[in-house]
Amino acid sequence: MDGALQSLKGSIERIILDPKYHDLLAIVKAARNGAVYGCKVRFPHALVFREKIWLVFRATRTHARNLAKFATVYKLGCMLLKRFGATPGKEGKRPKTGPYDSFIAGLVGGYLVFGGRSKRTGKISSVSQQICIYVFARVVLALARMAVEPGRGLPVVSRPDLSAKITYHAWPVFAAASWGMVMWLFRWHAAELQPSLRSSMSYIYQQSDEWDSLRNFLWHNK
């Protein structure tokens, strides 16, 4: 029985090591690596090591502290702009909030809380980067929706007939452009991508091109 299994294994390895099948099998392994990496990212942190737990705790603490700081700066800024800004209320009533108070207060809070660098390393906090990138993405999507809003958006594109078409096709175009650009950057300017993204893409798209046995074709990378 063992001999039959060894013979089968040898036959399979001869196939997967045959250069003429390499490009096709690289696609199979890329799919395998993508599935494995997706599980690694999404799987609950039930089995992480003690140091990983500490890293998660530190990131959570930093995230909470930064949001608390920003909320304080933002609310304080709005209060000061409301009290001392150029939009006073009627006699005997509280001052009105100016149309740009929230933007200015957010600008100051973003600069003070999320715009700084580590005094020790001189680098921007990875947590701050993640939060700002998340916020930026939501801002861009919201502005895009506003731009095509019938009657309120940009000229031409907010016409009801065009607005409906743009809204329907916008997401597929956005998804295609995003993935086309990130794959181009990874192929020609990988050093400019964020390290964790570059690492994940290397795992899925580069390391899937290399194997020298059935074991590191199916179970792990070479």
pLDDT at site 46: 45
Task: Answer whether residue 177 is part of any domain.
Answer: no
Task: Answer whether residue 29 is part of any domain.
Answer: no
Cβ-contact 185, 179 below 8 angstroms: no
Task: Answer whether residue 58 is part of any domain.
Answer: yes
How many other C-beta atoms are found inside a 10 Å radius of the C-beta of residue 213?
A: 14
Residue 196 — pLDDT band, cuts 50, 70, 90? Answer: confident
Q: How far is CA 169 from the centre of its chain?
A: 22
Enclosing domain of residue 99: 46-147
Q: How far is CA 120 from the centre of its chain?
A: 26
Task: Answer whether residue 94 is part of any domain.
Answer: yes
Distances in whole angstroms, Cα of residue 115 to Cα of each of 69, 100, 166: 13, 21, 35
Query: Number of structural domains, the chain?
Result: 1
What SS3 state is found at 104?
helix
Whole-structure pTM value: 0.69
Alpha-carbon distance of 121 to 86, in angstroms, equals 41
Cβ-contact 32, 214 below 8 angstroms: no
Tell me how many degrees the CA angle 43-47-48 measures, rounded to the nearest 5. Answer: 95
Task: Answer whether residue 62 is part of any domain.
Answer: yes
Q: Quick one: average pLDDT of 115-134?
A: 88
pLDDT at site 45: 46
Alpha-carbon distance of 222 to 66, in angstroms, equals 41
Task: Answer whether residue 203 is part of any domain.
Answer: no
Higher pLDDT, 74 or 7: 74
Task: Answer whether residue 87 is part of any domain.
Answer: yes
Alpha-carbon distance of 222 to 206, in angstroms, equals 11
Comparing 92-106, 132-146, 178-192, the range with the smallest average pLDDT is 92-106
pLDDT tens per residue, range 81-95: 888 875 555 555 666
Higher pLDDT, 55 or 197: 197
Task: Answer whether residue 101 is part of any domain.
Answer: yes
Q: Quick one: average pLDDT of 170-197?
A: 93
Cβ-contact 130, 65 below 8 angstroms: no
Tell me how many degrees the CA angle 99-155-157 measures, rounded to the nearest 5. Answer: 115
pLDDT tens per residue, range 8-23: 888 888 888 888 888 8
Q: Quick one: average pLDDT of 130-147?
A: 92
Cβ-contact 33, 208 below 8 angstroms: yes
Residue 39 — pLDDT band, cuts 50, 70, 90? Answer: confident
Long-range CB pairs of 5-14 (<8 Å, 24+ gap) are 9/214, 12/214, 13/213, 13/214
How many other C-beta atoms are found inside a 10 Å radius of the C-beta of residue 124?
A: 14
